[in-house]
Amino acid sequence: MNETAPAPSPLSRRGLIAGAGAALLPAAPLTAPGARAQAAAPRRGGVLRIAAADQSSTDTFDPVLARSGSDYLRAKAAYNALTWVNGRNEAVPDLAESFESDDAATRWVFRLRRGVRFHDGSPVRTADVVYSIMRHKTGPSLGSAIVANVASVAADGPDGVVFTLAAPDVSFPLAMSELHMSIVKEGTTDYARPVGTGPFRIETFQPGVRTVGVRNPEYFVPERPYVDGFEIIPLPDMQSRVNALLAGDVHLAVNLRGAGIDQVRQSSAAKLLTTPTSGFSSVHMRVDMRPSDNLDLRLALAHLMDRRRFVDVVLRGQAVLGNDVPILSTSPLYNTDLPQRALDHDRARFHLGRAGIGSAPVEVYVTDAANGGIDIGQLLQREAARAGLNVSLRRVPADGYWVNVSGMHPFSNNQVTPRPSDDMNIALFWKSNGAFNKCRFTAPDFDALADEARGTRDEGRRRELYFRMQKLIHDATPQVIPAMQSYVDGVSNRVMGIEPVPVGYLGGFNGPQNAWLGA
């Protein structure tokens, strides 16, 4: 796509990220791995039925308050953000047809796609974008940490929006793909009947009961969506989701675990959709509290974690081994110099000797709220006993866990859901002022390295900076991260067109837009 609008002066062509092909088809799947999906031309029609894993009377269409996976699915069906993410985790245009920054990556300009209308027929204007983003700055929002770096947002001509950042950020377009950043109409305060630009118009929305959408015939992505509509049915019980999938009552069942994965794998009616991500469950350890401030104790626990067994048995192999750093080992930014940690009683004993905590029990808070959290605790307890360490597990309910328990004790379960960019992950979870840095991790120069990486375009330099950050995290080990967990969904054999996108399940929460139903 050629830049048609006159570019404001401080922008450079080098900053142009929008790719020509990607601009035409914002959320087009990459090449399909199986020949089958490509062999047949997509078919139109049918209603896609999705069994969601969470059910709450707080289900919402308000992007500012989106909290659960099904909120994200809903947001992606009804709205668009300025950008979207492809299967290689790159930002691609969505409501913005292009975006570019100045050399310093502190001034980003997004050009809106022309002629896009909201579901009620009104055109999308720059004021809508400014309003949608500013909601995170002015009111309580679950996305406020993502726009913390945004100093100002302003319209620039009829189709441009300028973001001025407090500190440079080369992956800012990825931040704008986040579903909290969905674009709503200026002035909207009631989200019970959402008006967006997305692939579906919302027909019925009953929180905790059902959500029904019908195809938006004016959707700006050609051909999409293929299905006439979708329905989300909450089925928080995993076995019920699998049963509904195998009985043919739903086409998609999200978030499968344990035996459910085995059942779908063995079934002739459905298959697994596995999306490797940088999300994980862990034991996080407060570095400012006794006894978890003891580095040797933390290292002993890291060597008492049977990561292999956790991946193979608990996660049914749907994960990548973790090495206590937040970067996926298949990512180009992963520090390959770090030795892979494994179960090692001798090293654990060595560190325990140096820690000098004797037979005093180490209390770990575990919960179902983190996927595999209790299993992590039990595996740790078992191996710790063999090395002479007394780990006692405090099993606490999922209810209110993230507000009342997580990070309040020396050792507790943590869970991190994948964010679109590693820069965002580092800023939110690892920088000393990060909103989710519950371990209180700090290391000399770490913040400076993070800030520099965020403003560095050069891949070689970025890699170097990321290597150094991972070394600091690995040395300090504020979290034992046994595995980077994949999203695992069950997909009926009738459903085609959904490809993994690492920001969420069902193709980055975008399954309804891309799916089509075979015979």
Partner 1 sequence: MRDLGRLLLTRLLGALAVLLTVSVLIFAGGEMLPGDVAQIMLGEGASEAEVAQLRRQLDLDRPATERYLDWLGGMARGDWGVSYTTKRPIGEILPVRARNTALLTALTVAVAVPVALGLGVLMALLAGTAFDRAASVVLLGLSAMPEFLLATAGVLVFAVRLQWLPAISNVSLAGTLAEAARALALPVLTLSLIIVAQIARMTRATLVGLADRPFIEMAHLKGASRLRVVLVHALANAIGPLANIVTLNVAFLVSGVVVVETIFAVPGLAQLMINAVSNRDMPVVEACAMIFCATYVLLLLLADLFGATFNPRLRRSTP
Judged by CB, which is closer to partner 1: 212, or 380? 212
CA distance 320 to 275: 11
Q: How far is the CB of 389 from partner 1 (least distance, A)?
A: 28
Q: Does 234 engage in binding with partner 1 (CB under 8 A)?
A: yes
Specify the DSSP class assigned to residue 25.
Answer: S
Residues numbered 173 to 202 that lie near partner 1 (CB under 8 A) are 192
Judged by CB, which is closer to partner 1: 396, or 469? 396
Residue in 137, 214, 240, 295 binding partner 1, rule: CB under 8 A: 240
Q: Does 402 engage in binding with partner 1 (CB under 8 A)?
A: yes
Q: How far is the CB of 75 from partner 1 (least distance, A)?
A: 16
Q: Does 155 engage in binding with partner 1 (CB under 8 A)?
A: no
Residue in 19, 42, 207, 455 binding partner 1, rule: CB under 8 A: 207
Judged by CB, which is closer to partner 1: 141, or 277? 141
Q: How far is the CB of 72 from partner 1 (least distance, A)?
A: 14
Q: How far is the CB of 15 from partner 1 (least distance, A)?
A: 30
Judged by CB, which is closer to partner 1: 68, or 378? 68
Q: How far is the CB of 237 from partner 1 (least distance, A)?
A: 5
On the CB side of 378, CA atoms within 13 Å amount to 11
Q: 289: exposed, middle or buried (C-beta count within 10 Å: 0-12, 13-18, 19+)?
A: middle
Residue in 91, 96, 183, 233 binding partner 1, rule: CB under 8 A: 233
Residues whose CB falls within 8 Å of the CB of residue 354, separated by 6 or more in sequence, listed in order:
296
Binding-site size, partner 1 (CB under 8 A): 47
From the list 49-57, 70-78, 125-133, 222-230, the region that binds partner 1 by CB under 8 A is 49-57
Pairing of strands 411-416, 229-234: unpaired
- For tokens 């994980």, the residue is 280
Residue in 43, 117, 193, 210 binding partner 1, rule: CB under 8 A: 210
Q: How far is the CB of 148 from partner 1 (least distance, A)?
A: 10
Q: Does 400 engage in binding with partner 1 (CB under 8 A)?
A: yes
Helices 345-355 and 373-386: crossing angle, nearest 10°? 80
Q: Does 250 engage in binding with partner 1 (CB under 8 A)?
A: yes
CA distance 470 to 446: 10
Query: What stretches of 225-361 adopt beta strand conformation (E)?
Result: 229-234, 252-253, 270-285, 319-321
Q: How far is the CB of 269 from partner 1 (least distance, A)?
A: 9
Specify the DSSP class assigned to residue 312.
Answer: I
Q: How far is the CB of 350 from partner 1 (least distance, A)?
A: 35
Which among 367, 355, 356 is positioned nearest to 393, based on CA atoms?
367
Residue in 4, 122, 404, 432 binding partner 1, rule: CB under 8 A: 404
Judged by CB, which is closer to partner 1: 139, or 332? 139
Q: Does 55 engage in binding with partner 1 (CB under 8 A)?
A: yes
**Contacts within 8 Å (CB) and 24+ apart, 377-386:** 377/283, 377/413, 379/305, 379/306, 379/309, 379/310, 379/314, 379/482, 380/283, 380/301, 380/304, 380/305, 380/480, 382/306, 383/304, 383/305, 383/306, 383/343, 383/345, 383/348, 384/301, 384/304, 384/348, 386/345
In this structure, which amino acid lies at residue 313?
Answer: V
In this structure, which amino acid lies at residue 122?
Answer: S
C-alpha Rg value of the chain to the nearest Å: 23
Residues numbered 58 to 117 that lie near partner 1 (CB under 8 A) are 58-60, 65, 67
Residue in 97, 178, 231, 423 binding partner 1, rule: CB under 8 A: 231
Q: How far is the CB of 391 from partner 1 (least distance, A)?
A: 24
Task: State the chain's maximal CA–CA distance in angstroms.
Answer: 71
CA distance 209 to 234: 7
From the list 106-114, 122-130, 397-405, 470-478, the region that binds partner 1 by CB under 8 A is 397-405
Q: Does 144 engage in binding with partner 1 (CB under 8 A)?
A: yes
Q: Does 438 engage in binding with partner 1 (CB under 8 A)?
A: yes
Q: How far is the CB of 333 from partner 1 (least distance, A)?
A: 23
Q: Does 235 engage in binding with partner 1 (CB under 8 A)?
A: yes
Specify whether the CB–CB gap between 45 and 228 falls below 8 A.
yes
Specify whether the CB–CB gap between 309 and 348 falls below 8 A.
no
Specify whether the CB–CB gap between 378 and 364 falls below 8 A.
no
Judged by CB, which is closer to partner 1: 56, or 390? 56
Judged by CB, which is closer to partner 1: 7, or 134? 134
Q: Which residues bind partner 1 (CB under 8 A)?
A: 51, 55-60, 65, 67, 139-142, 144-145, 192, 206-210, 231, 233-237, 239-240, 243-244, 246-250, 399-400, 402-404, 406-407, 428, 435-436, 438
